[in-house]
Amino acid sequence: KTWVCDGVQDCSRGEDEDKCEATCEENQFKCGNATTAETSSSTRSKVTCIGKKHVCDGKKDCPKGEDEKNCPRKKECEKGSKCHQQCVLLANGTDACSCHIGYTINSDGYSCRDVDECMYETDPVCSQRCNNTVGSFICGCMTGYVLRPDGRTCKALGGAPTLIFANRVDIRQVSLNSAKYTALLKGLHNAIALDYHYKKGLIYWSDVSMDVIRRATLNGTGAIDVIKWGLESPGGVAIDWIHDIIFWTDSGTRRVEAATLDGRQRVIIASSDLDKPRAIAAHPGEAFIFWTDWGPSPKIERAEMDGNNRRAIVTESLFWPNGLCIDYTMSRIYWADAKHHVIESSKFDGTERKKVIAKGLPHPFALSLFEDAIYWTDWHTKSISTANKITGTGFKTIHSGLHFPMDIHSYHPQRQPQYQNRCGKNNGGCSHMCLPNRRSFQCVCPMGLKLDTDSFQNITALFYLFIYFCFRKSCDSTPTKLLLFARKKDLRMRQLDNGDVDMVIPVDGIRSAVALAWDSDSDSIFWTDVESDTINRAHLNGSQQTVIVNSNLESPAGLAVDWVTKKLYWTDAGTNRIEVSNLDGSMRGLLVWEGLDKPRDICFTSPGRYMYWSDWGTVPKIERAGMDGSQRAPLITHNLTWPNGLAIDHDAGRIYWADGGTKAIEFAMLDGKGRTALI
């Protein structure tokens, strides 16, 4: 029933929009005479709502002048009249008092008081700044704007504005007033979200088919991947053009993340209590980010750019909050709800919520602002439309017949105004990433590193308008306690002291990763790929990636580093071998090859006395041998099906194993005695 009389024809013949009464807001006057008895939606479309302050003001604002009908007529005041300013004759023939424009009648019916025109919210008299005067008002503009000849609206300084929007297969730049467009980027797969950096001349966009965030120059050249690991459905992108940070939402990973513009430094901003985060917008001047979430509990959230002080600011009357943008001049956010078919706005804390367009939008997706206008894309009509950002009047479609319009941004220097850089000129002194917040900034480290306690500083510096309280700034090169794991197509790490969050290690070309190993001295990770039949190595941060073994491998399934001798050991379930090499893949040698039938995992005791391996062939077993393959002996031979992973507890002298067939985890002493089922 909520779809009935919502302004959108959902039934094939539009029956859900028949016999609906055309209504205006409480503080508005309805032009037109459509009633519940009139069933034509075309008749209702002619109804216009205007602010009540325009009624009987001497100017016809309704199309047929209904607002100036039956208005009081001025007359000369009779001798002894109590009226302070004007006398009028009402439509019913009685005398009354009235006031000059800029004043309103007091409760006594005779005297007049000044009207504060600057308090008009539904239909403001000024587009930006307003200063009330006795009987009138004076409008002003923010920095970067000048007052137009009408004395009320403001014009942005700079070149002609344009719109940049994603059209799924391309990204276009179009004029506000003509149908001409320029294809900035062509041949895209599924471009959804975008934003730009005006000063650097860069455009960023997400592609949900390729699961990447890319960038190029605004002339369409130099396209590269910026974020290409650990993305599942990046639906929103926002650029902080002051601190040079890119923020994005991902409804697949259920995260809000941030990175430097080149993607080299990356951190998680929010990862809890998120379901389907969609649009995101950044305000560098206030150090705020806003995002929408249209999961089971739809909401609009706000946080500082370092992720702190996160809060839901809009939680009611939401269903599919898609588009989101910021009015930097008036400190408001705007959003579109595709299910409720509306565009709304509020202050940054969610208060003073107002409907700009109350109904009738088929499927709004994204929106942007410029001067006094709002622009939005619509999936259903495949068009771009515009209206006044406060009153919703002047609704018109400016571009139609589009392929599949997605995200949209107005392109102009005043849409990215200058603010103070909270991180200063030297990245705030941070060794890695500097994230601004309301107070100043915070140095943060990529996952796997932590702030160095030896770099503790207690510096208080006055820098322009901000007081910077800078404490730990450098990231310790020693990794924190990490859990490394493979997810077939990628490698991930998770901090053990923050077990709810994992991060993809940025390495390329993984087809089917199975085994992992780690060398703490060089901070290197090793992994096997059973589709490419290779053994690979990279630094924990993803750099220095190389293939170290790529020949005579068929199914390398187990991998381990001997941290004493700096040797790499592996099992191969295809060749039925256990081999060894240096950590760079050189000096390769064969250790065990007889009596193996699908060897799987491998591990060592400290300080390298024995190696242990699992075998889930015809006769499943766990064996051990010396590090050179000698002294080979069976360890566990009964009640095994698919013994896979192995792990050594060096302190307790135990070996643990997981069995995919029995679905159990067991352990025993290193000599095989004391076998115990754990799970």
Q: Give the percent of the chain with pLDDT over 90.
A: 68
Residue of 307, 298, 219 lying closest to 257 (CA atoms): 307
Residue of 663, 648, 645, 621 lying closest to 679 (CA atoms): 663
Residue 431 lies in a domain: yes
CA–CA separation, 315 and 346 (whole Å): 12
Query: How many Cβ atoms sit within 10 Å of the Cβ of residue 424?
Result: 18
What is the overall mean pLDDT for the chain?
88
- Mean pLDDT in residue range 351-356: 94
| CATH code at position 309 | 2.120.10.30
DSSP notation for 324-341 = EEEETTTTEEEEEETTTT
Residue 169 lies in a domain: yes
Q: How many domains does the chain have?
A: 4
Identify whether residues 402 and 432 lie together within a single domain. Answer: no
Residue of 132, 85, 80 lying closest to 109 (CA atoms): 85
Three-state SS for 10-49 is CCCCCHHHCCCCCCCCCCEEEECCCCCCCCCHHHHCCCEE
Query: How many Cβ atoms sit within 10 Å of the Cβ of residue 118?
Result: 17
| CATH code at position 436 | 2.10.25.10
Q: Residue 21 belongs to what domain range?
A: 1-69
pLDDT in tens, 598-612: 999 999 997 668 999
Do β-strands 136-140 and 129-133 pair in parallel, antiparallel, or remain unpaired? antiparallel
pLDDT in tens, 490-540: 888 887 776 677 888 888 889 999 999 999 888 899 999 999 999 999 998
C-alpha dist (Å) from residue 191 to 188, 195, 338, 366, 513: 6, 12, 19, 13, 29
Residue 114 lies in a domain: no
Both tokens of residue 182? Answer: 């320029």
**Given 46, 69, 92, which residue is the final one in a domain?**
69
Identify whether residues 55 and 24 lie together within a single domain. Answer: yes
pLDDT in tens, 180-214: 889 999 999 999 999 999 999 999 999 999 999 99
**Given 54, 69, 84, which residue is the final one in a domain?**
69
**Given 17, 44, 69, which residue is the final one in a domain?**
69
Q: What is the pTM of this model?
A: 0.79
Identify whether residues 300 and 445 lie together within a single domain. Answer: no
pLDDT in tens, 247-285: 999 999 999 999 999 998 999 999 999 999 999 999 999
Angle (CA) 410 411 417, round 5°: 100
pLDDT of 458 over the 70 cut: no
Identify whether residues 648 and 596 lie together within a single domain. Answer: yes
